[in-house]
């Protein structure tokens, strides 16, 4: 013999509940919270992966639902879709925020060049530029770094340039 189980009550009308929430009805928010908390957490968890952060963002989303229930427009979609859209946006915002924070931390952890290194590099560049100006015959058909009048650098030009670099380094 099969026992008849009582039918579960139909799910509450979320659109109607949000209308009541917009008017400050705490009981309506409790019912909406009970309906939305699981799906909101699920959407957020799919984006964030971290359970603790997912719980935090889900709470923020449900708080936003309480604060902005008056903005819900039934003509634009279901109440669940509205709340889940908020959840997804908040989760994506959290990911972006975490990525930006991580980039800032990485940038802060990168050592800045020592003043001595910067000074040496500037001196080297200045001396090299001076040597190139003083010895234009080193590159008879070329100017510093490039082609002039379609001529390709000859095989010895690279060697001569390397020699200039070594001489500039020796002067430092």
* Confidence at 95, pLDDT banded by 50, 70, 90: very high
Instruction: Report the pLDDT averaged over residues 72-92.
Output: 96
Taking 90 as the threshold, does the pLDDT of residue 107 lie above it? no
**pTM of the full predicted structure?**
0.58
**Gap between the terminal Cα atoms of the chain:** 100
What are the structural domain ranges in the chain?
Answer: 14-109, 115-171
Of 109, 127, 102, 17, the C-alpha closest to 66 is 17
Could you read off the pLDDT of 123-145 as tens digits, one per residue? 887 777 777 667 655 555 545 45
Mean pLDDT of the chain: 81
Q: pLDDT higher for 27 or 122? A: 27
Tokens 């039918």 locate to 7
DSSP one-letter string for 114-150: PHHHHHHHHHHHHHHHHHHHH-GGGSTT--SSS-STT
Tokens of 143: 């100017």
Taking 70 as the threshold, does the pLDDT of residue 23 lie above it? yes
Could you read off the pLDDT of 30-69 as tens digits, one per residue? 999 999 999 999 999 999 999 999 999 999 999 999 999 9
Q: What's the pLDDT score for residue 10? A: 73
Question: CATH assignment of 14-109, given 3.40.50.970, 3.50.50.60, 3.60.150.10, 1.10.1740.10?
Answer: 1.10.1740.10
Q: What's the pLDDT score for residue 155? A: 58
């Amino acid at each position: 013999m099969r026992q008849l189980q009582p039918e579960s009550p139909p799910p509450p009308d979320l659109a109607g509940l949000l209308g009541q929430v917009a008017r400050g009805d705490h009981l309506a928010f409790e019912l909406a919270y009970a309906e939305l908390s699981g799906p909101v957490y699920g959407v957020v968890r799919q984006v964030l992966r971290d359970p603790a952060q997912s719980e935090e963002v889900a709470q923020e989303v449900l708080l936003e639902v309480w604060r902005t229930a008056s903005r819900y427009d039934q003509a634009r979609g279901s109440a669940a879709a509205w709340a889940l859209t908020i959840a997804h946006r908040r989760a994506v915002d959290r990911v972006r925020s975490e990525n930006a924070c991580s980039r800032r931390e990485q940038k802060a952890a990168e050592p800045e060049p020592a003043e001595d290194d910067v000074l040496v590099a500037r001196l080297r560049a200045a001396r090299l530029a001076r040597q190139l100006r003083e010895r234009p015959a080193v590159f008879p058909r070329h100017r510093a770094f490039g082609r002039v009048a379609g001529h390709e650098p000859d095989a010895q030009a690279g060697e001569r340039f390397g020699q200039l670099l070594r001489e500039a380094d020796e002067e430092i």
